[in-house]
């Protein structure tokens, strides 16, 4: 019998067919809806591998329903949807897709920064709404990006790639991270700051930290209050790092000027969410890594990881290394 692979979201034919060469493959086919929990739990009982996305909760309950599950290949760099300890207890390899999305996500993060600073979305809507009747000196003026201070919270691969882009805009680069990043300091002139000092000095505060027990709720009202009133806050990592209600209140109280957000506490945003009516909020639907090239590469990486584990080889991007049982 061929190993059984369950794919939790609709993927392009090329990905499905690649897996189908070696495996029995089934896929959840409703493109705009996550697989219902009951179905995922039923499929996992027969699966040797799962190809998952960030909306799938991969936890103890799921592992306890597994029969011969060996690998979960998560199509994301973030693995906060997965209980790693539970995976290791059950001997299941967890793989993610780091590196391949670094530049694409950095591009989107910088797009969000530019779009928020220069009010690009508002301006484009203004034109499409037929409101552009004349040129005016102060019409839709935003704020400059070049020569300002960017403060990057979470100087991992994506943070460093954003810093590179910031250097091209002649920005001063500040960062806060668990560990010093000597390469970024030497190559880009990035300067380490405590979180408080960064918040006080930066014109743009960029959140790129992973969601972990340490970073959940990292940004509270007091953190927004420490920022300049002209500061712009950008989040392109995970929503729950921010106390979203505190951000809403800080924007309403004009403690900060604007926010550009690709991620939220609860995704998708519900129709009555305050962000939807705030002109100084640019909200995007979690599209950090969403280029055709990168999404295809992420899915190919998932296929390679599944093939490696099933063939008893070391997968390239194993997260829970303690599970190692490869020859
Ligand atoms: C997407 O959010 C990812 O973690 O890759
Ligand atoms: C504006 O379009 C300018 O020429 O300054």
| ipTM at complex level | 0.68
Catalytic residue of the set 193, 238, 244, 295: 238
pTM, rounded to two decimals:
0.96
Q: Kindly report the average pLDDT of the chain as a whole number.
A: 97
Q: Are residues 136 and 197 in the same domain?
A: yes
Rg of the chain (C-alpha set): 21
Q: Are residues 254 and 318 in the same domain?
A: no
| pLDDT (tens digit per residue) in 105-115 | 999 999 999 99
pLDDT of residue 326: 59
Q: Are residues 106 and 205 in the same domain?
A: yes
Catalytic residue of the set 30, 42, 60, 267: 267
High-pLDDT (> 90) share of the chain, %:
97
**What DSSP assignment string belongs to 72-92?**
EEESSS--TTB-HHHHHHTT-
Helix axes 102-117, 120-128, angle to 10 degrees: 70
A 10 A CB-CB count for 237 gives 28
Q: Are residues 199 and 276 in the same domain?
A: yes
Q: Are residues 279 and 319 in the same domain?
A: no
For residue 101, the ligand 1 atom closest to its alpha carbon is: 5
Number of domains the chain contains: 2
N-to-C CA span, the chain: 23
The protein residue whose alpha carbon is closest to atom 1 in ligand 1 is 76
Q: Are residues 132 and 266 in the same domain?
A: yes
Q: Are residues 163 and 140 in the same domain?
A: yes
Tokens of 188: 């880009």
Catalytic residue status for 181: no
pLDDT of residue 324: 74
Tokens of 89: 């207890």
> Which of 234, 289, 290 is CA-nearest to residue 259?
234
| pLDDT (tens digit per residue) in 3-49 | 999 999 999 999 999 999 999 999 999 988 999 999 999 999 999 99
* Ligand 1 close to Cβ of residue 52 (< 6 A): no
Q: Are residues 270 and 300 in the same domain?
A: no
Q: Are residues 174 and 303 in the same domain?
A: no
Catalytic residue status for 273: no
Q: Which domain holds residue 65?
A: 4-100+292-323
**CB-based contact 269:283 (threshold 8 Å):** yes
CATH number of the domain that residue 307 is part of: 3.40.50.720
Asked if residue 100 has pLDDT above 70, the reply is yes
* Ligand 1 close to Cβ of residue 260 (< 6 A): no
Q: Are residues 234 and 303 in the same domain?
A: no
Catalytic residue status for 37: no
Secondary structure (3-state) at 132: coil
Q: Are residues 250 and 158 in the same domain?
A: yes
pLDDT of residue 179: 96
Q: Are residues 115 and 180 in the same domain?
A: yes
| pLDDT (tens digit per residue) in 232-278 | 999 999 999 999 999 999 999 999 999 999 999 999 999 999 999 99
């Amino acid at each position: 019998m061929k190993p059984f692979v369950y794919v939790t979201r609709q993927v392009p034919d090329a990905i499905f067919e690649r897996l189908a060469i070696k495996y029995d493959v089934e896929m959840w086919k409703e493109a705009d809806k996550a697989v219902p929990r009951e179905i995922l739990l039923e499929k996992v009982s027969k699966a040797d591998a799962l190809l998952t996305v960030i909306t799938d909760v991969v936890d103890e309950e799921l592992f306890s329903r597994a029969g011969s599950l060996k690998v979960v290949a998560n199509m994301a760099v973030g693995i906060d949807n997965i209980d790693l300890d539970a995976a290791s207890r059950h001997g299941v390899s967890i793989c993610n897709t780091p590196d391949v999305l670094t530049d694409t996500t950095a591009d989107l993060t910088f797009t969000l920064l530019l779009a928020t600073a220069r009010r690009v979305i508002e301006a484009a809507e203004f034109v499409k709404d037929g409101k552009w009747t004349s040129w005016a000196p102060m019409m839709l003026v935003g704020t400059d990006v070049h020569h300002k201070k960017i403060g990057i919270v979470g100087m991992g691969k994506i943070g460093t790639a954003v810093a590179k882009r910031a250097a091209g805009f002649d920005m001063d680069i500040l960062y806060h991270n668990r560990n010093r990043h000597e390469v970024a300091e030497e190559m880009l002139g990035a300067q380490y700051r405590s979180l408080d000092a960064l918040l006080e000095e930066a014109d743009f505060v960029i959140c790129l930290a992973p969601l972990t027990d340490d970073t959940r709720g990292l940004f509270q009202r007091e953190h927004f209050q420490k920022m300049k009133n002209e500061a712009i806050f950008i989040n392109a990592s995970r929503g729950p790092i921010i106390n979203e209600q505190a951000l809403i209140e800080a924007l309403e109280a004009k403690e900060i000027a604007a926010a550009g957000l690709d991620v939220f506490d609860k995704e998708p945003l519900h129709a009555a969410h305050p962000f939807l009516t705030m002109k100084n909020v640019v909200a995007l639907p979690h599209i950090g890594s969403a280029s055709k090239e990168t999404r295809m590469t992420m899915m190919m990486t998932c296929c390679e990881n599944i093939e490696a584990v099933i063939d008893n080889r070391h997968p390239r991007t194993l997260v829970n290394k303690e599970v190692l049982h490869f020859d």
